[in-house]
C-alpha cells in the first residue's frame, strides 16, 4: 500500500483490484515565484505487473493550468513528451513547479494515468484522471474520465467527441490515411497504441 504520503486520497482502479493511484500537493502556502512540489504515487495490485503487459512502465500525462510551470529537468528516459508526459519509473514521483500571478483561484492540475497491467486474472488497460487542487496540502480527487486533455495542446480529442475527418500516419509509415474518406460511409474503429523500446 502507499504509505509515504499521509493523508493521501487514493483512488482504487477498477479492473485492477488493489492497484492505486493518488497525488498530494506539498504542505505550505502556494506563492508566486517560489518552488513547490507535488507527489504522484502509483502501486500495482499484489501479483500484477506493468512491465509484463508490453509497456515498461505506466505513464502519466499532466494537464497544467495557466499560471503553473513545470520545472523538472529531463533525466534518462523518464519523459515521453517533456515536461507533460512521463513514464512512472518509480512508485512515487515528486514533480517540481512554480506558479505566477495569473494562477486562477481554484485551479487544478489534471493527472492522467495510463497503464497496461497483467496478472493472474488477465490483462487490464487502466486509464484514470485525477484533479489536484493547486493548494498547499491538497489531495487529488477523481476527475472526469472523459477528459483526455493534457499538455499545452487544447485541440486533443476527448472520449465521445465527434470528428468529421483528419489525416493520420499509418503503422507501416507508407502514406498517411485520410479518415474523411470513410467517416459516415461505413463503421470506423480507431485505436492507438503505445510502445516503449
- Going from N- to C-terminal start, the domains of the chain cover 10-149
Q: In 3D, which of 105, 102, 121 has the Cα closest to residue 45?
A: 121
Which CATH topology does 10-149 take? Immunoglobulin-like (2.60.40)
In this predicted model, what pLDDT tens digit does every residue of 147-175 receive, in sequence order? 878 876 656 666 667 766 677 777 666 78
Q: What is the mean pLDDT of residues 93-109?
A: 94
Determine which helix (DSSP H) or strand (DSSP E) holds 173, and give its type and residue range.
Answer: none
Q: Kindly report the pTM of this predicted structure.
A: 0.73
What pLDDT is stored for residue 8 in this prediction? Answer: 32
Mean per-residue pLDDT over the chain, rounded: 77
Is the pLDDT assigned to residue 16 strictly greater than 60?
A: no
Total residues found in the chain within this entry: 197
What pLDDT is attached to residue 20? 83
- The contacts of residue 90 (CB under 8 Å, 6+ apart) are none
Confidence of residue 63 (pLDDT cuts 50, 70, 90): very high
- Is the model's pLDDT at 34 over the cut of 80? yes
Per-residue pLDDT, 171:
67
Q: How distant is the alpha carbon of residue 182 from its chain centre?
A: 31
Instruction: Kindly state the percentage of the chain with pLDDT values over 70.
Output: 72
Give the mean pLDDT of 66-91. Answer: 80
What pLDDT does residue 85 have?
Answer: 84
Tell me which of 164 and 17 has the higher pLDDT. 164
pLDDT exceeds cutoff 70 at 1: no
CB 106 within 8 A of CB 40: no
Q: Which of 126, 104, 139 is nearest to 16 (CA)?
A: 126
Alpha-carbon distance of 29 to 163, in angstroms, equals: 42
Looking at residue 130, its pLDDT comes to: 94
Amino acid at each position: 500500500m502507499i504509505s509515504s504520503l499521509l493523508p493521501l486520497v487514493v483512488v482504487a482502479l477498477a479492473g485492477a483490484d488493489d492497484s492505486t493511484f493518488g497525488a498530494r500537493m506539498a504542505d505550505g502556502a502556494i506563492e508566486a515565484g517560489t518552488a513547490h512540489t507535488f507527489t504522484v504515487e502509483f502501486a500495482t495490485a499484489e501479483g500484477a505487473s506493468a512491465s509484463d503487459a508490453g509497456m515498461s512502465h505506466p505513464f502519466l500525462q499532466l494537464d497544467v493550468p495557466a499560471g503553473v510551470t513545470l520545472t523538472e529537468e529531463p533525466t534518462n528516459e523518464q519523459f515521453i513528451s517533456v515536461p507533460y508526459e512521463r513514464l512512472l519509473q518509480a512508485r512515487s514521483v515528486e514533480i517540481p513547479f512554480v506558479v505566477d500571478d495569473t494562477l486562477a483561484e481554484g485551479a487544478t492540475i489534471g493527472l492522467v494515468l495510463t497503464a497496461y497491467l497483467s496478472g493472474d486474472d488477465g490483462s487490464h488497460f487502466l486509464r484514470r484522471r485525477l484533479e489536484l487542487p493547486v493548494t498547499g496540502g491538497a489531495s487529488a480527487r477523481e476527475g472526469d474520465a472523459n477528459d483526455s486533455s493534457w499538455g499545452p495542446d487544447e485541440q486533443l480529442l476527448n472520449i465521445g467527441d465527434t470528428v468529421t475527418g483528419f489525416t493520420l500516419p499509418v503503422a507501416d509509415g507508407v502514406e498517411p490515411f485520410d479518415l474523411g474518406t470513410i467517416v459516415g460511409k461505413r463503421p470506423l474503429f480507431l485505436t492507438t497504441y503505445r510502445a516503449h523500446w
